[in-house]
Amino acid sequence: MLKYLVILAVGVAMGYGYGWKDAQANTKHVAERVLDRIGGETRERMGNDVDRRFQAADSK
């Protein structure tokens, strides 16, 4: 049981250190940066402009 607690404590300490350095280097939260990157990559394919889709289908 002590082994698991030591491993957990080391993991928390490493994660805290990584998060602290990341927060000092960036103004946006890591989750915001990931969502911006994901949304930016797929934004064109996931549009909901129905008129543009029908016009594209009619032009083919």
In this prediction, residue 42 carries a pLDDT of 63
CB 22 within 8 A of CB 30: yes
Amino acid at 43: R
- Alpha-carbon span 41 to 53, nearest angstrom: 19
State yes or no: pLDDT of 3 exceeds 70: yes
Specify the higher pLDDT residue, 9 or 30: 9
Predicted pLDDT at 12? 97
Each residue's pLDDT tens digit, 10-54: 999 999 999 999 899 999 888 888 877 877 666 666 667 778 777
Q: What is the pLDDT of residue 52?
A: 77
